[in-house]
Chain A
Amino acid sequence: MTVNPFDADRPPERVRRGNGERKRNGQNGARRRDESLMVPDVSFDSYYGRHIVKPAPWEKEIAAYLFLGGVAGGSALLAAGGRALGYPALQRVGRVAAMGAAALGGAALAKDLGKPSRALNMMRTVKLTSPMSVGSWILTAFSGFSGLALASEVATAIAGRSDGGTGGGSAVARVARVLDLVDGPATVGSALFAPPLAAYTAVLLADTATPTWHESYRELPFVFVSSANLAAAGLALVAVPTAQNGPARRLAAVSAVTETLAFERMQDKLGPTLSEPLRTGKAGRLLRASKALTIGGAVGSVVLGRNRVAAALSGLALMAGSACLRFGVFEAGTASAIDPKYTVEPQRERLERRRAAGVVDDSITTAR
C-alpha cells in the first residue's frame, strides 16, 4: 500500500459489520477494500431470517428428470452416429436408452405435478416465454422420433429373426419394411431434438428467481450438455461390447474436459457469495463426488476401456457422476432460495454499484 501526504486526511476505514461469513473472502480482500471506498458497505438484513424468494416446490423427481433427459439426449446422438457409421450395438443401445429415459423422465415430471391428472394441460398452449412449455414440446417431439426409431429397431430385429428362410411375407416383415422407410428421418429427428432436450433444462432452472440458478444461466447449459454426454457415454460403456465402444470412450473424454471447464467458469462467474451453495452442505458434497466420479470414469474409460469390466465400471462412474451433478445443482438452488442472504446481498451489491455509477432512476425504492 502506498503512502502519501494526503493519507492523513482520509477518514478511518469502515469496519465491516455483519457475521463472520464475509471475512472468508480472503483471496480477493484487496479488491473488495478498494471498492468500499466508492461503494458503501452492504449490510444484510432480513425479516426474521425468512427467505424472500420461495424455493421451487419440486421434489427429487425433477432432479432425476434432469439426469434422465440428459441420458436420453446423449444416447440419441450416439444412436444416430452409430447408425451413420456402422456401430449396430451402439445404435441399438442408444435407441433403447433414448426412448426409455425419455419415458421415465416424462413420468417423473408428471408425478411431481400438484395435479398429475392435468399433466396434458402442458399441451394446451405453446408459450415461448416459458422454458417449461418449450421443453414440454421438445420432449414430445423427441419422444415421437425416438419411439419411431426404436420401433423400427425392434421390428427389424423380430423380422430378421423370423425371416429365417421363408422369404418375409409375414405381417411383421411388412411392418418392418414400412418402419425401415421412416428409420432415417426418425434418427435425424431424434438427433436434432437431442441437444435442445439436454440444454433446455438449464434454461428451465435459470429462468427462476432462485439466485444461484439464475445467475449461472450463462454457463449452466454447457455444464448440462456435457453432463448429458457423459451419462450417455457411461451407459453405452456399460452396455456396448468393447469392439464398438470407441465413440463412447472418446465422447467421455472430450465431455469430461468440457464439463470441468464450464463448471469452474460458472463458479468463478457466480462470485464468492452465490457460488457458496455449490461448495457447501449437501450440494457441495454431491458436486465434489460428481467431480471425482467424472474424472475417474473418463480416465478409466480412455485408459482401460478395452477391458470389458473396466469399461463397465468406468461407465457406471460416469453415470453416477452425472447424476450427482444434477442433484447437486438442484440442491444448491434450493439452498440459495431458502437463505435470504443469497437474495439480499447480491441485489444490494448491484444496486449500490449502479448508484455509485450514477444511475439513480432504476431502483424499486425511491424517495419520491
Chain B
Amino acid sequence: MGFWRNQLSGPTDPAADAAWDRHEPRKGFFTDTSICIGCKACEVACKEWNHVPEDGLDLLSQSYDNTGALGASTWRHVAFVEQSSERIEQARESGRRLVQLGMPSVRTGGEPALAGGSTATATLAPPGDVRPGDVRPGAGAGPGPTDQAVPDLRWLMASDVCKHCTHAACLDVCPTGSLFRTEFGTVVVQDDVCNGCGYCVAACPFGVIERRRGDEGHEKTGQSHGISIAGAPGTGSHQNPPSYAASNGEVKNVGIAQKCTLCYDRLGAGQTPACAQACPTTSIKFGDLDEMRATARARVAELHELGYPEARLYGVDDHDGVGGTGSTFLLLDEPEVYGLPPDPRVTTADLPDMFRKAGYAGLTMLGLAAAAFVGRRR
C-alpha cells in the first residue's frame, strides 16, 4: 500500500517507482538566474547537440528575448525581463515575506535550512556583478543583515528548461507509453513511438512539451508561439517561409511531441548535458539532484546574507504540487514574472476522484435511460 500512496502525488523516488532495478542517483539541473548573463549559449548548444530545428527568426518585442517560450523546438529558453526600481522593491518585499513565512518551524521531517552549505560556494559570485545599472554601496559594505541599495534598473535573465517533475503529468497521461522515466529519474519522449496525440501538451503544468510542426514557431502560423504577442503579428521578415521547413526534409519528428531529454544520450556516457557544458558563468549547474538542491540552498542563503532578500528557490520542495522537480531554479522575483506557474499541481493527483465522479455520472446516465423507458407504452 505504501508503494501506491505516492504514485500520483507527494514525495517519492520516481526511478524506483518506474521499476528500475539498476539504481542511478537522480540527476537534475540547478539554474542560478542571479549569475545568468543572457548569452543564450545554452539555447544554441542544445539545438546543436540534439539536432533541434530552427523555429522562427522573428523579433518579438520582448526585450532581448526573441525565442519566446519553451516548445517543441526550443528546449532551453532564456527569458529577459527589464525592471525599474519600483518593481525591484516589490520583488524584495515578496522575498522578505517568503523568508518570514518560513520562520515558524512548521516543517518537521525536513533538512536543516543550510544543509550542504559546504558545497559549491567557491564558484559563486554576488548577482550585482553581472547586472547593469546596479548601484553598489562602497567597498566597505560587506555581507550583513542590511539590504543592498535598490538599483534604478535591472535585467532578469533566466534559462528555463523542462522541470523533469517527480510526478510528471505528461508521462502519466501519455496513452502510447512513448514518454518514459529513465534510470536517472528524468522524463524522455521516444520519438519512434509517439503518435502525436497531443495529450501531454495540455497536461504539462509548466507548458514545456509541445507537438512539432513543420512550420514551427513562426509568429504568423498561430501555433502557441504566435499567441497574444502585441505589435508583432507577421511583421518580421521570414527568411524561411513555412513551406521551406516542410519541404526541405530537414525537420524531423514533425507531428511528434518534443521536449528536453536532459541529454539522455550524454548522461548514459557519463557526460554533462550540452547546455550546462556550454554555460560560461556556471549559471546552469548539473549533477545529482541532492547535490543540486544543497547547492541551491547554500546559494540562496548566501544571497540573503549579502542583502538580496528577493532571492528565492523554485522546485526544491518535495511537498509541492508536482512532488519536487528535477530542474531547480534560483529566482529574483515571483515565478510568474519569468513565465513560471506560482503553484503548479500535477493534474493526475486528482485522477482517482475524476474517475469516481465519472463513474457516478455513468450510473446517472443509466438511471436517466431507465427512467425514459418507465411509463406508458404507446
Contact = CB atoms under 8 A, between A and B. Distances in A.
Contacts, number: 337
B358 interface: yes
B192 to A, nearest CB: 9
Interface in A203-219: 203, 206-210, 214, 217-219
Contacts of A207: 173, 203, 347-348, 350-351, 354
B342 A344 contact: yes
B357 interface: yes
Interface string A244-261: 101110110011001000
Interface in A94-133: 112-116, 118-119, 121-122, 124-125, 127, 129-133
Contacts of A45: 334, 336-337
Interface in A222-249: 222, 224-226, 228-229, 233, 243-244, 246-248
Contacts of B197: 112-114, 122, 132
Contact of A226 (B98, B256, B337, B368): B368
Given A364-B320, A364-B321, A366-B312, A54 B207 contact: yes
B362 interface: yes
Given A121-B176, A209-B205, A351-B342, A77 B366 contact: yes
A305 to B, nearest CB: 10
A215 to B, nearest CB: 10
A54 B343 contact: no
Contacts of A303: none
Report which residue of B113, B114, B195, B211 has the largest number of chain A beta carbons within 10 angstroms of its beta carbon. Answer: B195
A337 B198 CA distance: 14
A130 B174 contact: yes
A250 B372 contact: yes
Category for how many chain A residues contact B:
35 or more
Interface of B: 8, 60, 62, 68-69, 71, 79, 81, 95, 97-99, 101-102, 104, 106-107, 110, 113-114, 169, 172-178, 193-199, 201-207, 209-212, 223-224, 227-230, 254-257, 297, 300-301, 304, 312-317, 319-322, 325, 331, 334-344, 347-348, 350-351, 353-355, 357-366, 368-378
Given A226-B368, A348-B336, 8 more contacts: A52-B207, A57-B198, A121-B176, A129-B173, A217-B353, A250-B374, A361-B317, A364-B321
